[in-house]
Amino acid sequence: MNIETSRDRYDSAPLLEGEVAAEPLDQLRRWLDAAYAVPEIREPNAMCLSTVDRDGRVSSRMVLLRGLDTRGLVFYTSYFSRKARAIDEHPRVALTFYWAALHRQVRIEGRAAQVPEDESDAYFASRPRGHQLGAWASEQSEAIADRATLAERVAHFDARFEGEEVPRPHSWGGYVVTPEYVEFWQGQPNRLHDRLAYERDGRAWRIERLQP
């Protein structure tokens, strides 16, 4: 390993104004499709979510994109988690995708809001039973004595819901992030990367090229 000298070569096709979609979420969908088509990219829907709490303290963690529509980007989590508490205090968040094999990054800034309950119900019902039990067992972001305690909690809820569908805990659900700013970054030779930034301009989006 040599952190100081290792360098990947960014030799992908450039990202040009004339080729991108007018709507940033359409462009994101194009790039997600391209990432899903590359077998070596695991979980192309993984994105880094950054939040800021009432003290201005920023924290970041990965979450999985589970929906993309005209409203924005949807992910699911615990409504009692640290990230959820921060969103309650400050709805502004940032999301970042990075697909190394394509030399591509997407940065999104926007506002997060809980999705309607029926939407969370429908997504929760589609999850494997083990994941559903995990949502009941884990008080996400809280400390726990050891792994065995977590396993005991899973066994407890497994028994409680034996022979029936596991309902969605009210502490768990989705957020939709409505974007206000979206930037597409395409790595290019000599660090002269392409950056196209979409900023809201009334109902439309203005696209601006930024220096690398």
Ligand X SMILES: Cc1cc2nc3c(=O)[nH]c(=O)nc-3n(C[C@H](O)[C@H](O)[C@H](O)COP(=O)(O)O)c2cc1C
Chain residues binding ligand X by CB under 6 A are 43, 46, 59, 61-64, 75-77, 81-83, 140-141
DSSP 66: -
Residue 175, beta-bridge partner list? 75, 114
Instruction: Find the angle CA(84)-CA(90)-CA(91) to the nearest 5 degrees.
Output: 75
Indicate the residue among 52 and 63 with the shorter CB distance to ligand X.
63
Q: Which residue has the tokens 């977590």?
A: 150
Backbone angles phi, psi at 116, to 5 degrees: -55, 150
Q: Considering beta carbons, is residue 21 or 113 the nearer one to ligand X?
A: 113
Report residue 12: phi and psi, to 5°. Answer: -80, 165
Residue corresponding to tokens 């409203």:
71
- Of 31 and 97, the one with the shorter C-beta distance to ligand X is 97
**Measured from the CB of residue 201, what is the shortest distance to ligand X in angstroms?**
31
Please state the closest distance from residue 7 (CB atom) to ligand X, in A: 25
CB of 64 to ligand X, least distance (A): 4
Neighbours of 118 (CB within 10 A): 8
Q: Tokens in use for 198?
A: 């979409």
Cβ-based nearer residue to ligand X, 172 or 198: 172
Minimum Å distance from CB 88 to ligand X? 12
**29, 191, 200, 209: which is the annotated catalytic residue?**
191
Cα(10)–Cα(5) distance, integer angstroms = 15
Q: Is position 191 annotated as part of the catalytic site?
A: yes
Please identify every residue annotated as catalytic. 191
